[in-house]
Amino acid sequence: MVDVRLEGLSKRHGGSEILRDISLEIGDGEFVVLVGPSGCGKSTLLRLIAGLDQVSAGDIFMAGRRINDLPPAKRGIAMVFQSYALYPHMSARRNMAFGLRAAKLDRAQIERRVDEAARILQLEDLLERRPAALSGGQRQRVAIGRAIVREPDLFLFDEPLSNLDAGLRVDTRLEIARLHRLLKATILYVTHDQAEAMTLADRIVVMNDGRIEQTGTPTELYAGPENLFVAGFIGSPKMNFIAGAQAARLDAATLGVRPEHLKISLSKGSWSGTVQMVEHLGSDSFVHVECPGTGLLVARERGDRELAAGQSVHLAPESGRLLRFDDSGKRI
Amino acid sequence: MSIALTGHAVERGREGPGRPPRRVLALFLLPAVAVYSVFSIYPLLATIALSTRKTNAAGLSEFAGLANFIRLFFDPNWSDAFWNALANNTLFFVIHMAVQNPIAIALAALLSLPGLRARAFYRTAIFLPATLSVVIVGFVWQLILSPLWGVSEGLMSAVGLGGWFAPWLGREGSALVVLSLMSVWQFVGIPMLLIHAALINIPDDLTDAALVDGAGHWRIFWTIKLPLVAPTIGLVSILTFVGNFNAFDLIYAVKGALAGPNFSTDILGTFFYRTFFGHQLQAGDPAMGAAVATVMFVIILAGVAVYLLAFQRRLKGSNP
Ligand SMILES: Nc1ncnc2c1ncn2[C@@H]1O[C@H](COP(=O)(O)OP(=O)(O)OP(=O)(O)O)[C@@H](O)[C@H]1O
Ligand SMILES: [Mg+2]
């Protein structure tokens, strides 16, 4: 396993700049998750690191060595694609052995590594099947198996769980977390899913429009977003934003407060309004309150609190939980 | 049709009220079945029936059982020509398979290279001969290869290969090979297009995954792309097989019905033509001709059956 360093990476396709000045360091054995809206360049970044596309500017280092000009085969990187990209005419075993055969390993060693990976991923009974005869989750595991048998220095995952149903997603997420501990692998992982990002990551990188907005541990990003984009992107339901005169009174352009930091009171509070809707999730409820002059605020409440649409309530932020942002969206 | 959507109709299953009655189905099938019967089934059966008859001394047609076939296979008057035509036809097919498929695959692979310029031009240019008449192709190549006024001897001399030139089309040993290559030249565009279409249908992700897995382009071609276009190659092969064992026009256009020199380019199509219609001193014999046609039909049927059983079943096995 090695550390990876990106310095000022840029990528342009035709006239449009898809990645701008991306710099990032990934420590040895670190699990870094890349999040960002669709089209912000996450896959493009992975392809640059894997060597499938050439960078327009900047450098990529692995273990201190510049690898810009190495072909994909020589980089010691394994990639798991969103579509799995399993070879349809080969059995699961042959799929997993493909890279090892290309590397001209001897037969016994290939056999041993494939069996070992199959054991870790619980694929032993499925090795002779072709991808068409496997379920989505099983294909997914074969794709991961194909990556781990090569014992690469770096794993790249491009939204590997997005084709799975919710239950399987949670299982596979735990599986990947377990693999990371077991293999002590360096991993760069792309996802759209908040829960995946928060639970898996040692560090999260938030991207937007070809740039890195902020990098930090999940708790850092959650508690201390540096700008409006990160504040709004991380956390579900989204952070409440309040602009206008109320923000100006606190010397800010926008105020932000997370739903769980808004207290609902029947008697007093900073904002008063009417309950529009209550979303019951069991343990919690999301209470949508329309506050005249402020807008719609969402508060998170314990699930057993009885609130009904049409009720008049007051909302107040917990002390010290109000975030302030200036006109450019930067946190103050 | 809304009835078909209710649970009630679903319970009744296939005979439910949502399905049109059988009489209506029969009505819609009738035109196709009628045309197919009149123009395909009937002539086929009539040919087979005709192959079992012969003309007796009184000039009347009578049932002869398999006598025509026995004559065809064993009577030296017929069998020499028949086995010669069958052997030539087999060689004709083998040359097509051995030359046309590799060239078509190579051209298709070149056509699907990323970053190739003027792709449409190459594709059209290579496909163009397939749109020409066989007669024109035969005539043009005859002109090119002619030892009297052809350009090939001059061209070969110009690059120092003049000594290698021979009137290939006129020699017993090479005429059939040259004719096969002419046919390959004409039709290679069709398999090329089919294989090209199959190649560009392979998702880019697969090649990307293989590249990251450490495979080179050569290995990716052999282990990923070629196996994935194998069904198309199988299809091309069976089309070639059917086309080759039904071939007639090119030989007739270049060599005439006698398929010279000395029958060295005689294939089943030309043999059938002389047998059925007669040629010069040979009188036409419709019953023998029908026997030859029946043998051709059986050969093609056998080839297609092998293809369907072997190839299609393997395909099904891969996508259950
Ligand atoms: N070959 C290309 N030519 C031109 N533009 C491209 C090309 N490939 C990608 N792009 C553009 O680059 C941008 C980033 O694409 P990319 O696939 O990296 O997004 P992404 O962050 O992975 O999105 P998603 O989450 O939807 O997968 C997109 O706007 C896309 O249109
Ligand atoms: Mg993507």
Q: Kindly state the average pLDDT of the residues B259-268.
A: 89
Contact flag B318-A132 (C-beta cutoff 8 Å): yes
pLDDT for position B148: 85
CB-count burial class (<10 Å; 0-12, 13-18, 19+) for B137:
buried
| Highest-confidence segment of A221-225, B149-153, B260-264 | A221-225
Is it the case that residue B15 has pLDDT exceeding 70? no
Q: Per residue in A280-292, pLDDT tens?
A: 988 899 999 998 8
**ipTM higher than 0.90?**
no
C-alpha distances out from residue B27 to B15, B34, B35, Å = 18, 11, 14
CA distance A193 to chain B (A): 22
Assess if residue B247 is contained within a domain.
yes
Could you tell me where the DSSP H helices lie in B112-263? 119-127, 134-145, 152-158, 175-187, 189-200, 204-212, 217-220, 226-245, 249-255
Is it the case that residue B233 has pLDDT exceeding 60? yes
Contact flag B214-A72 (C-beta cutoff 8 Å): yes
Which CATH number is B301's domain given? Answer: 1.10.3720.10
Chain A residue with Cα closest to B213:
A99
**In a 3-state reduction of DSSP, which class is residue A153?**
coil
The answer to whether the CB of A39 is under 6 A from ligand 1 is yes
Is it the case that residue A194 has pLDDT exceeding 90? no
Sheet containing strand A240-243, strands side by side: A240-243, A254-257, A323-325
Task: Indicate the top mutation candidate among A40, A81, A159 to test ligand 1's pocket, ranked by most ligand atoms within 8 A of CB.
Answer: A40
Q: Per residue in B46-75, pLDDT tens?
A: 999 999 888 877 778 888 888 889 998 999
What is the C-alpha R_g of chain B?
26
| E strand or H helix at A145 | helix A136-148
Q: Which domain holds residue B302?
A: 78-318
Assess if residue B2 is contained within a domain.
no
Is it the case that residue A85 has pLDDT exceeding 70? yes
Is it the case that residue B13 has pLDDT exceeding 50? no
DSSP B79-114: HHHHHHHHHHHHHHHHHIIIIIHHHHHHHHHHHT-T
> Among residues of chain B, what percentage have pLDDT more than 70?
92
- Chain B environment of A133 (Cβ under 8 Å): 320
φ, ψ for residue A30, nearest 5 deg? -85, 150
The answer to whether the CB of A44 is under 6 A from ligand 1 is yes
Q: Which residue has the higher pLDDT, B267 or B61?
A: B267
Check CB contact of A102 with chain B, cutoff 8 Å. yes
Q: Kindly state the average pLDDT of the residues A37-41.
A: 91
Confidence tier at B299 by pLDDT (50, 70, 90): very high
> Among residues of chain A, what percentage have pLDDT more than 90?
58
Assess if residue B21 is contained within a domain.
no
Contact flag A81-B208 (C-beta cutoff 8 Å): yes
Chain A residue with Cα closest to B209:
A85
Confidence tier at A99 by pLDDT (50, 70, 90): very high
Residue A150 makes CB contacts below 8 A (sequence gap 6+) with A78, A99, A100, A103, B213, B214
Q: What is the mean pLDDT of chain A?
A: 90
- Chain A environment of B223 (Cβ under 8 Å): 98
pLDDT for position A175: 85
Q: Kindly state the average pLDDT of the residues A96-100.
A: 94
Confidence tier at A87 by pLDDT (50, 70, 90): very high
Check CB contact of A146 with chain B, cutoff 8 Å. yes
Is it the case that residue B298 has pLDDT exceeding 90? yes
Contact flag B203-A52 (C-beta cutoff 8 Å): no
Confidence tier at A136 by pLDDT (50, 70, 90): confident
Is it the case that residue A169 has pLDDT exceeding 50? yes
pLDDT for position B95: 96
Confidence tier at B247 by pLDDT (50, 70, 90): very high
- Chain B environment of A52 (Cβ under 8 Å): 208, 211-212
- Chain B environment of A160 (Cβ under 8 Å): none
CA distance B210 to chain A (A): 7
Is it the case that residue B11 has pLDDT exceeding 80? no
Assess if residue B72 is contained within a domain.
no
Assess if residue B40 is contained within a domain.
no
Q: Per residue in B92-136, pLDDT tens?
A: 999 999 999 999 999 999 998 888 899 999 999 999 999 999 999
The answer to whether the CB of A191 is under 6 A from ligand 1 is no
The answer to whether the CB of A37 is under 6 A from ligand 1 is no
**In a 3-state reduction of DSSP, which class is residue B158?**
helix
Cα(A135)–Cα(A131) distance, integer angstroms: 8
Assess if residue B68 is contained within a domain.
no
Confidence tier at B315 by pLDDT (50, 70, 90): low
Residue A183 makes CB contacts below 8 A (sequence gap 6+) with A148
The answer to whether the CB of A212 is under 6 A from ligand 1 is no
Q: Residues A255, A247: contact at Cβ < 8 Å?
A: yes
Query: Considering the entire predicted model, what is its pTM?
Result: 0.81
**Which residue owns the Cα nearest ligand 1 atom 5?**
A13
Is it the case that residue B283 has pLDDT exceeding 70? yes
User: Measured in Å, how far apart are chain A's first and last C-alpha atoms?
Assistant: 39
Assess if residue B133 is contained within a domain.
yes
Q: Kindly state the average pLDDT of the residues A150-156.
A: 92
Task: Indicate the top mutation candidate among A10, A22, A34, A44 to test ligand 1's pocket, ranked by most ligand atoms within 8 A of CB.
Answer: A44
Check CB contact of B319 with chain A, cutoff 8 Å. yes
Task: Indicate the top mutation candidate among A17, A18, A81 to test ligand 1's pocket, ranked by most ligand atoms within 8 A of CB.
Answer: A18
Question: Among A70, A77, A89, A140, which would you mutate to test the B interface (most chain B Cβ atoms within 10 Å of its Cβ)?
Answer: A89
Confidence tier at B6 by pLDDT (50, 70, 90): very low
Confidence tier at B2 by pLDDT (50, 70, 90): very low
Is it the case that residue B1 has pLDDT exceeding 70? no
Assess if residue B71 is contained within a domain.
no
C-alpha distances out from residue B99 to A157, B96, B106, B160, B177, Å = 44, 5, 11, 26, 11
- CA–centroid distance, residue A40 to ligand 1 (Å): 7
Go through B166-201 and write b for each residue having 16 or more CB atoms within 10 A of its CB, e for each that does not: ebbbeeeeebbbbbbbbbbbbbbbbbbbbbbebbee
The answer to whether the CB of A267 is under 6 A from ligand 1 is no
Confidence tier at B8 by pLDDT (50, 70, 90): very low
Q: Residues A161, A172: contact at Cβ < 8 Å?
A: yes
Cα angle A204-A208-A214, degrees, rounded to a multiple of 5:
40
Q: Which residues pair with A301 in a beta bridge?
A: A285
| Residues with C-beta atoms within 5 A of ion ligand 2 | A 43
Instruction: Name the closest ligand to CA A19.
Output: 1
Is it the case that residue B29 has pLDDT exceeding 80? yes
Q: Per residue in A23-35, pLDDT tens?
A: 999 999 999 999 9
Q: What does the DSSP 8-state code read for residue B20? A: P
Question: Among B212, B221, B315, which would you mutate to test the A interface (most chain A Cβ atoms within 10 Å of its Cβ)?
Answer: B212
Cα(B301)–Cα(A153) distance, integer angstroms: 56
Cα angle A100-A105-A108, degrees, rounded to a multiple of 5:
100
The structural domain count of chain B equals: 1
Is it the case that residue A216 has pLDDT exceeding 50? yes
Q: Residues A43, A101: contact at Cβ < 8 Å?
A: no
Chain B residue with Cα closest to A129:
B318
> Between the CA atoms of A315, A321, A322 and A325, what dihedral angle is there, to the nearest 10 degrees?
-150
